[in-house]
Each structure stands twice: as structure tokens, then as C-alpha cells.
Structure 1
Amino acid sequence: MPNSPLVPTVRRRRLGSTLRKLRNDAGMTLDSAAETMGWKAPKLSKIENATQQIRTVEVTTLLKAYGVADPEVFTALENLAKDAGKKGWWQTYSGVVALAYADYISLESDAEQICEWSYVVPGLLQTAAYARETISGITLSRTPEEIAALAEVRMARQAVLTRPGKPLEFWAIIHEAALHQRFAVRPTTMRDQLRKLLDAAEMPNITIQVMPLRSTAHPGLQGGFSLVCFPGPTPDVVLLENVNGATYIEGDDASPFVGAVERIRAAALSVEDSLARITELEEGTRK
């Protein structure tokens, strides 16, 4: 029986696109680069297109052939090669976690910094009750058991904010409309969620801004997104979500979102004023 084709995961795509960029920067063709490895060009092409695996030792040899000297580049890409097919804790939930969502969780676990602009409270900052309510509201065909499992996944994802060594740097810009959400079945849900935002903002690696209802126009009016940044040379990745699922913007195509983030931040309330607004809303839920 023939082998199944390799699934081009986000990690493999990041590795392949970075290797392609470094090869181009070195002025080498596919043929010349492959020849240094004793390969045929199609093999290297498949590696760059994330449809074939590459061993860590082969990454090291390629980087030397491309004239890379930065040890951080070696470390970042060797780790990507090592972890490209690695299974994470989320595989336990494979029955409810779609492949695109699993890809995002792996990105999140590798990331150094994420900036998220959202019309709901970001998953990394949600309470379990808020997660259950919102998942139930936006899903079209999930059972109560699946909704509970997806809420568990959101809670487990938050471990990146307190991971040992270097926790994820998370910058959340939340539209104020999300903070006025009310849940009829559990009236205390939003109060507890606002309290969690205030507690999270005390962590040194978390920054929260609120986009006021009366903001100036900004690029975020076109929709929410997450800009995911990594250590070393690997390119940024942008996640776009809608009712049809997730779309990834990678490589140079992600560059415009960096400027968009800066303009969205500038249009939002300052960090100090944002926390004051969240505090005001939290106090209002207790009246």
C-alpha cells in the first residue's frame, strides 16, 4: 500500500517557507541547493512546500550551505524540524478540535508574541463559563458534550501565558461592544469575565486595550484577526476566522497586518483608560 501524503501542517509550512527565503537570499537555485545535499531538486521543492519531512541534521547542513551564521536561526529552524510532526496535548480532543484549530494551537504554543484584535473576549482571556456560553452561541451543530470539551480546550490553551521560562506575550485589543455582552441564563458570567480581564492585566506579559464605541475609523473595521509572531527568522502568521472556519495568512502576505495592528492600537483607549473602562463596567454589573 502506498504511503499517505504528508499533511502540510503550519509548522512544516513555516519551516519550508523560511528555508526557501534563506535559499533565495543566498542566491541559490533549487538545483544548486539540492546538489549540495546530494538530492534532486524535486525533493527540496517538496520540503519547501511542506509536503516532505526534513531531519534536523539536514536543516543544519542546508543552513550552512546558505551561509547562515546566526545561532538563533539554527536553533529556531532545528526546533521546527524536530517538532514539525509532534503531537500536542490537544490531540486528546481530536474528536472535537478541527485540523485548522489544532494548527492554531500549535502556532500559539510556539509563538513569542500574539496581538489579537477581537469583537469578543479572546480565548486566552476567557473564563470557562464565558467560553461555554460563546461556543454554544456561535456553533451550529455541536452537542453539549462537544461544547464542554471545546471550553476545556480554551482553558488548557491559557497555559502559554504562564509557561516556565518565557511566557507568551499577549496584547489584546477588544471592542467595547464585547464587554456589554449579557447572558440571560447566567447573569454573573460577564461580571466574572470582566474581573478576569482586570486580573490578567496585572500580569507583566499581558496588555489589554479597549476599542471604544465612539472610536475613529481604523483598519480593524474590516474584521478581527490574530497576528502571531515567533522567535528567530520564521515569518509571522495571521489567523482570520469566520463562520466558514479559519484562514491563515503567511509569509510576506502577513506584513500589512503589522501596520494595521499599530493603527488599531492607536485608535483604542490607552492601557490605563482601558482598565478604567473595564473596572467601570465590572462595577456596573454588581448594581
Structure 2
Amino acid sequence: MPAGGKPTVRSRRVGSELRRLREAAGVTTAQAAELLSCSAAKISRMENGIVSVRVVDLRLLLDHYGDEDQEHRAYLERLARESNKRGWWQDYGDTIPPYYADFIGLEADASYIKTWEPTTVPGLLQTPEYARAVMLANPAMVSPDKLENFISIRRERQARLEQGTDARLDAVIWEVALITTVGSDEIQRGQLSRLLELMERPNISVQVLPLEAGAQASMSGSFVMFSFGSERSVSTVFVENLTSSQYLEMDQELRGYTLVFDALQSAALSPAASATRIRQRLEQRK
């Protein structure tokens, strides 16, 4: 069982993939259970991440479900082996609420991250000063006594992208985020300069949705999309509002958000033109 008797992000990820593959293969839980000589209830617990999946059982199920993608299989085997492994973020204890710990876990395992932000710079691209100002501006976001821990956590999240890993980030930002002063002019200038630096990295793409683009889909709320392993298709979408958050994994939901993100990317400036627009907004603040 995952540590603490609760599903971990990795065990849920393995379970979710097993359910998807089983349903795509037209196999029932009873048939899967017969293969492993266990109960259908145990298969259900595996798919919900409540019970860890042994690698030997995982291989049997993947063979039975017809998964011949060796990279995908290797990815799932790694997750299965590490399902009880302690994540670096757990060192922060109860500083991190459960939903945020889940988010960090997904982000840490993702090979491809796509994010849309209509009002602020995405967290993975924020400077510490900008992040602090954003958090202080929202009293419901984090209590003052935990603020510096949250900023440290964000910095550790960013380090993964900045250390040349295989993870890739595609961000679309509404131009409103470039012209809204967060904290002070100095903080905003520092943030715009940092954006330009990060855009030079091969695994980071930033596109600006210009004001002149007019009304677009999902301009009212941000979201983050995760892909895992060799798969480029989206597996999980994270949506957050002022007081709650949710993870979406149903095929219809994933297709909808993928269409919206593709539309936002198409309406946005190219990365090169986006860099030019950011420089223009930076010059206006000097």
C-alpha cells in the first residue's frame, strides 16, 4: 500500500494508465483479476492508486492490454517502483496542503507541461520577488507564516526546468500579465527580464496572447496540462480557482482543454514576436 495508506501521485498515475489501457482493450476488471489470480476489487484498488502494483503484475497486465510502446512501459515500471518513494516536497511537512502536494508530484513526473495564465506570469517562470508579491496580494492563497516556505518550494520546482532536464514547458500568457504591476515597477521589470532569459532555454516556450487578439476561449481562468513519459497527448488537467481546485482526466474533458490550448497558441504571437512584445513592455517601464 502507498505510504501512509493513501494513494500517492505515482500510484494514481499508474492506476489511471492501467484503467485507460484496460478499457481501450475491452477487458473487464474480472478478466484482469483472473489474469493475476486476484479479486476484481483488488484490480479496482490498483486502478484507484490505493494498492501499489508490483512490476511483475504490471508487465502481465500491459502484455494482456496490448501495450507495445516500450518507452511507455518503461515509464510505468519506473513509477511503479517509485510509488512509495518520498518526494522532496514532503520535507516541508504540513506547509503544503494535500492538493498542492499532488500538483507538485504531477509536475515532477511530467515530461510535458502546458499552461495558460490570463493575469499573472506562470509560477514556474516567476522570480522570488514577483511570487512573494502575488501571494501577499491574495490573503486566501497562503498564510504569512508559511510564505517563505512556499517561495522556497516554488524555487525548487523551477530548478527542474532550469537544470536541463527532459521536461518541457509551453506557456501562453495574456498580455495583461505583462502590463499589470505586481508589487512594484522594480519587481515587474525584474520579472519581465527574467522571462526573456528563460525564453532562451530550449525546453521553455513562452507565447504572449496580445490585447489586440480580442476575446478568446478560457480568458477567465488559468489551467495546467500534463503529459507523461513518451506520450505527447494530455493525461491530466489541473484547474484552480480562489477556494478550490480539481484534476480532470476524462477523455472528453482532456479533448476540450486541448482544443482550447491549441486555439490560444494559434491566436498568440510566435515565441520570437512574444519576446519582442515583452521587451517593448519592459522598455515602457524604464
Normalising to structure 2: TM-score of the pair?
0.91
Which stretches in structure 1 are left out of the alignment for 5+ residues? Answer: none
Kept in 1, the 8 Å contact 2:111–2:230? The answer is no
Q: Distance in 2 between matches of 1:177 and 1:21?
A: 38
Kept in 2, the 8 Å contact 1:160–1:167? The answer is no
Which stretches in structure 2 are left out of the alignment for 5+ residues? Answer: none
Aligned equivalent of 1:282: 282
1:220: how far off? 2.2
Q: How many residues align structurally?
A: 282
- Pairing partner for 2:186 from 174, 185, 188: 188
Q: Distance in 2 between matches of 1:51 and 1:235?
A: 23
> Bigger CA drift: 24-33 or 222-231?
24-33
Q: Distance in 2 between matches of 1:37 and 1:89?
A: 33
Aligned equivalent of 2:149: 149
Secondary structure of 1:221's aligned partner: coil
Secondary structure of 1:228's aligned partner: strand
Q: 1:67 to 1:167 in 2, by over 3 A?
A: closer
Kept in 2, the 8 Å contact 1:115–1:228? The answer is yes
1:10: how far off? 3.4
> Bigger CA drift: 256-265 or 132-141?
132-141
Q: 1:67 to 1:208 in 2, by over 3 A?
A: closer
Aligned equivalent of 1:268: 268
Q: Distance in 2 between matches of 1:269 and 1:235?
A: 23
Q: Distance in 2 between matches of 1:281 and 1:6?
A: 50
Kept in 2, the 8 Å contact 1:76–1:231? The answer is yes
Task: Confirm whether residue 39 of structure 1 aligns to residue 35 of structure 2.
Answer: no
Identity of aligned residues (%): 37
Secondary structure of 1:244's aligned partner: coil
Secondary structure of 1:260's aligned partner: helix
Kept in 1, the 8 Å contact 2:132–2:151? The answer is yes
Aligned equivalent of 1:68: 67
Aligned equivalent of 1:18: 17
Question: What pairs up with 1:243-254 in 2 under 5 angstroms?
Answer: 243-252=242-251, 253-254=253-254
Normalising to structure 1: TM-score of the pair?
0.91
Question: What pairs up with 1:130-169 in 2 under 5 angstroms?
Answer: 130-140=130-140, 142-164=142-164, 166-169=165-168
1:201: how far off? 0.6
1:116: how far off? 0.6
Secondary structure of 2:269's aligned partner: coil
> Bigger CA drift: 4-13 or 240-249?
4-13
Kept in 1, the 8 Å contact 2:140–2:243? The answer is no
Kept in 2, the 8 Å contact 1:5–1:51? The answer is no
> Bigger CA drift: 116-125 or 217-226?
217-226
Question: What pairs up with 1:49-64 in 2 under 5 angstroms?
Answer: 49-64=48-63
Amino acid paired to 1:36: L
> Bigger CA drift: 206-215 or 25-34?
25-34
Q: 1:235 to 1:202 in 2, by over 3 A?
A: closer
Amino acid paired to 2:169: F
1:113: how far off? 1.0
Q: Distance in 2 between matches of 1:243 and 1:130?
A: 19
> Bigger CA drift: 60-69 or 166-175?
60-69
Secondary structure of 2:95's aligned partner: coil
Kept in 1, the 8 Å contact 2:218–2:260? The answer is yes
1:123: how far off? 0.8
Aligned equivalent of 1:202: 200
> Bigger CA drift: 229-238 or 127-136?
229-238
Secondary structure of 1:219's aligned partner: coil
Amino acid paired to 2:134: T
Secondary structure of 1:171's aligned partner: strand
Kept in 1, the 8 Å contact 2:30–2:39? The answer is yes
